[in-house]
């Protein structure tokens, strides 16, 4: 079949795409920016894959789609993008529906949240509104409603991991008593694949969830048991939604906007209505513990395909990130260092392994301090890490940087800062003529930008000199 896939660079989309291709389908990926789409994981299927550029909040970008598509997936989500995400989500759904109506598409499959409570959070209400916007007489709509998704790199899994592994004692908000019904990412993909072309799912919605109904506190404690960690959780009623949002933001790797919306949703029970969809599709539902163990295995094998924080939704610039691909030379400050390499392959491995658990090779305590300061002022901090300790791709997040260019063949890595700074910052590594060229570039905004550069200049001398030495020395 010919499949039209939106959200192909997102957490779910990346995992669904590889399954669609391995099952022999032709897939058209609709992405906001082609430059962000990393083709390398799908190089064995390039004859089945095509990519088009669409921004469903900008009608001028919506070129016609191949009329012969059979099925379309709507996996677009704007919750972490801005405060007024509900308006953006509604417009996006309307434009998507109008685009698909011009094709011969028989079925649109939409993954959303469980919305069984009478009073919904702004996030869940927006998801329900999108469902209404996607309904059409031109095609059948199948809606899969999921609660918390558990998988290596998923937002829920990473937030739970941050809380459990970093806090021996948690003084937590009372919403930890709220009930939810988590589902493993493997089951989510099985449902998304399983409903394709199934006429009994047309113009219907189904709650999809695992077998366990748990409170958030129980989920945290089970996670701790699986990691063999002793944890104490004290629930208090005095934390307001705003304080709860800050608590979640500072402890975990989420953005404040996302934390705020998550807290609102966490006050509402997310329990599935029973149905026989899993039985009819032959899907064996994983327990919460089983989903956790599969996630741990993927992490230990360094085999995490996608992570929620690789999404550009929390990006702090209104401009397209790829507008920063060309490093400026005028009106900028630079810290450029060159050093002879003793072992080129080893240096290259270090460059492409930078950040995350590997750290920055020198003065990591200062990098951590900078990350904490960034988090304090509303930035992303260092907690995002990286999804793979040895492989790196264009579009990946590496701590508070975004990968703009990565080529082992060209021996070049270019990072762009997503930290809070009064300007724009790049960090580039390239190997040329037996030497490593390490270059930090900063384009200041106004007087504060210039003052910032001079204030951190003494630290740059220490940090960058030590870093290039560690990168180039064979014994380091």
Residue 373: per-residue pLDDT: 83
Confidence bin at 178 (pLDDT 50/70/90): confident
Whether 230 is in a domain gets the answer: no
Most confident of 29-33, 360-364, 370-374, 375-379: 360-364
Residue 309: per-residue pLDDT: 53
Residue 60: per-residue pLDDT: 83
Phi, psi dihedrals of residue 331, rounded to the nearest 5° = 65, 30
Percent of the chain surpassing pLDDT 90: 42
Mean pLDDT (whole number) for 410-427? 91
Range scoring the smallest mean pLDDT among 164-178, 267-281, 430-444: 164-178
Residue 302: per-residue pLDDT: 53
The domain total for the chain is 1
Q: 265-282: per-residue pLDDT in tens? A: 677 788 999 999 999 999
Confidence bin at 318 (pLDDT 50/70/90): very low
Residue 316: per-residue pLDDT: 46
Mean pLDDT of the chain: 84
What the block records as the tokens of 366 is 């200062």
The answer to whether residue 215 scores a pLDDT higher than 80 is yes
Give 353-404 as a DSSP string.
T-SGGGTTSS-HHHHHHHHHHHHHTTS--STT--S-SS---TT-EETTEEEE
- What CATH number is associated with residue 393? 3.30.530
Residue 404: per-residue pLDDT: 87
Residue 144: per-residue pLDDT: 96
Select the more confidently predicted residue: 127 or 219: 219
Residue 314: per-residue pLDDT: 42
Mean pLDDT (whole number) for 316-334? 72
Residue 261: per-residue pLDDT: 62
Whether 157 is in a domain gets the answer: no
Residue 474: per-residue pLDDT: 77
Confidence bin at 400 (pLDDT 50/70/90): confident
The answer to whether residue 303 scores a pLDDT higher than 70 is no
Most confident of 79-93, 157-171, 266-280, 374-388: 266-280
Mean pLDDT (whole number) for 54-64? 83
For residue 203, what are the CA distances in angstroms to 5, 89, 282, 309, 452? 19, 21, 21, 32, 56
Flag whether the pTM goes above 0.75.
no
Q: Which domain holds residue 372?
A: 333-472
Most confident of 86-100, 171-185, 300-314: 86-100
The answer to whether residue 286 scores a pLDDT higher than 70 is yes
Residue 102: per-residue pLDDT: 92
Mean pLDDT (whole number) for 48-52? 91
Mean pLDDT (whole number) for 44-50? 88
Mean pLDDT (whole number) for 403-424? 90
Residue 317: per-residue pLDDT: 41
What the block records as the tokens of 8 is 């192909």
Neighbouring CB atoms inside 10 A of 194's CB total 19
Residue 172: per-residue pLDDT: 75
The answer to whether residue 65 scores a pLDDT higher than 90 is no
Residue 173 to residue 454: CA distance in whole angstroms: 42
Residue 89: per-residue pLDDT: 86
Residue 391 to residue 389: CA distance in whole angstroms: 6
Residue 122: per-residue pLDDT: 73
- Where does 118-257 show beta strands of DSSP type E? 140-146, 149-150, 169-173, 179-180, 183-184, 204-208, 214-215, 232-236
Residue 476: per-residue pLDDT: 62
Whether 343 is in a domain gets the answer: yes
Whether 375 is in a domain gets the answer: yes
Whether 191 is in a domain gets the answer: no
The answer to whether residue 84 scores a pLDDT higher than 80 is no
Whether 326 is in a domain gets the answer: no
Selection from 102, 110, 34 nearest residue 72 by Cα: 110
Range scoring the smallest mean pLDDT among 17-26, 141-150, 292-301: 292-301
Q: 238-261: per-residue pLDDT in tens? A: 666 666 666 666 676 666 666 666
């Amino acid at each position: 079949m010919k499949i039209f896939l939106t959200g192909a660079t997102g957490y779910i989309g990346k995992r669904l795409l590889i399954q669609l291709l391995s099952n022999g389908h032709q897939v058209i990926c609709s992405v906001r920016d082609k430059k962000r789409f990393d083709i390398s994981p799908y190089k064995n299927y390039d004859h089945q894959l095509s990519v088009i550029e669409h921004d469903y909040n900008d009608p001028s970008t919506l070129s016609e789609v191949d009329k012969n598509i059979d099925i379309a997936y709507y996996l677009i989500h704007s919750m972490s993008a801005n405060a007024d995400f509900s308006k953006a989500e509604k417009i996006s759904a309307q434009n998507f529906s109008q685009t698909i109506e011009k094709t011969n598409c028989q079925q649109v499959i939409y993954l959303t949240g469980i919305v069984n409570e009478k009073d919904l959070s702004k996030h869940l209400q927006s998801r329900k509104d999108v469902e209404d916007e996607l309904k059409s007489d031109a095609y059948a709509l199948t809606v899969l409603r999921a609660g918390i998704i558990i998988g290596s790199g998923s937002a829920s899994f990473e937030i739970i991991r941050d809380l459990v592994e970093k806090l021996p004692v948690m003084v937590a908000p009372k919403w930890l008593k709220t009930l939810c019904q988590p589902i493993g990412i493997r089951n989510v993909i099985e449902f998304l694949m399983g409903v394709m072309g199934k006429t009994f799912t047309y113009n219907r919605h189904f709650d999809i969830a695992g077998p366990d109904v748990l409170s958030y506190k129980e989920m945290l404690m089970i996670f701790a048991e699986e990691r063999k960690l002793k944890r104490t959780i004290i629930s208090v009623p005095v934390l307001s939604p705003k304080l709860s949002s800050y608590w979640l933001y500072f402890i975990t790797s989420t953005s404040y906007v996302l934390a705020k919306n998550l807290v609102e949703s966490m006050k509402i029970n997310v329990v599935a209505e029973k149905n026989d969809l899993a039985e009819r599709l032959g899907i064996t539902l994983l327990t919460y513990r089983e989903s956790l163990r599969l996630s741990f295995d993927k992490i230990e094998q360094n085999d995490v395909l996608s992570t929620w924080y690789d999404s550009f939704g929390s990006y702090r610039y209104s401009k397209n990130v790829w507008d920063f691909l060309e490093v400026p030379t005028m009106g900028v400050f630079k810290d450029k260092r060159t050093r002879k390499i003793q072992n080129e392959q080893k240096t290259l491995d270090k460059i492409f392994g930078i950040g995350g658990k590997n750290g920055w090779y020198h003065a990591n305590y200062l990098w951590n301090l900078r990350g904490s300061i960034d988090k304090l002022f509303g930035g992303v901090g260092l907690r995002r890490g990286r999804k793979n300790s040895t492989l790196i791709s264009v579009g990946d997040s590496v701590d508070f940087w975004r990968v703009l260019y990565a080529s082992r063949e060209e021996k070049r890595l270019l990072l762009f800062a997503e930290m809070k700074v009064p300007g724009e910052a790049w960090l580039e590594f390239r190997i040329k003529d037996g030497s490593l060229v390490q270059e930090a570039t900063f384009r200041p905004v106004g007087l504060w930008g210039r003052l910032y550069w001079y204030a951190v200049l003494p630290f740059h001398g220490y940090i960058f000199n030590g870093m290039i030495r560690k990168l180039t020395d064979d014994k380091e």
